[in-house]
Amino acid sequence: MADAKITFEQVLHVAKLARLTLSDEEARQMQEQLDAILGYMEGLDELDVSNVPPTFHSIPMDAPMRPDVPERCSDRSEILEQAPESQSGGFAVPLVLEVE
């Protein structure tokens, strides 16, 4: 991990992946803070865990199955009321494709 600390360009790339816009000033500050945090995290390098299995779930559990029975869900109008914009019973989104 020694050379993995984050560069300014990487910050901009990650922001793009995360769908966030950062001003230059915000990106510079973010780079500084993430660099300090990632520097601290290098402490994990003292452990050799190549043979240790990962714990994705702390408490072992099976993926439960249930009968596939249709049920009433929330009222559509109540859900659409929370949308920033709705139209004809659906969510309205900015234009994605040009229409002739």
Partner 1 sequence: MSDFPWQSAFEIRDQVAGGSASAIEVARAYLARAEALNPKLSCFLTIDHEGALAAAAQVDRAREAGEELGPLAGVPIALKDNLCTRGVRTTCASQILGEYIPPYDAHVVEALRASGAVILGKTNLDEFAMGSSNENSSFANVHNPWALGRAPGGSSGGSACATAAGLAPLALGSDTGGSVRQPAAFCGITAIKPTYGRVSRYGLVAFASSLDQIGPMARSVREASQLLQVIAGHDRRDATSADRQTGQYVAACDRGVKGLRVGVVRDLLDGLQEADVRARVEAALSALEKEGATLVDVSLPHAKHAVSVYYLIATAEASSNLARFDGIRYGLRVPGADLTETYTKTRAQGFGPEVRRRIMLGTYALSAGYYDAFYLKAQRVRTLIRRDYDTAFESCDVVCTPTTPTPAFALGEKTSNPLDMYLADIFTLPPSLAGLAAISTPCGLSASGLPIGLQLVAPPFEEEVLCSAGQVVEDGCGLVGSRPAALD
Contacts with partner 1, residue ranges (CB under 8 A): 1, 4, 6, 10-11, 14-15, 17-22, 30, 33-34, 36-37, 40-41, 43-44, 47, 49, 52-59, 61, 63-64, 66, 74-75, 78-79, 81-85, 91, 93-96
SS3 at position 89: coil
Q: Is 87:95 a contact under the CB 8 Å cutoff? A: no
Residue 17 or 100 with smaller CB distance to partner 1:
17
Q: Can you say how many angstroms the Cα of residue 62 is from the centroid of all Cα atoms in its chain?
A: 25
Min CB(70)–partner 1 separation in Å? 15
Measured in residues, the chain has a length of 100
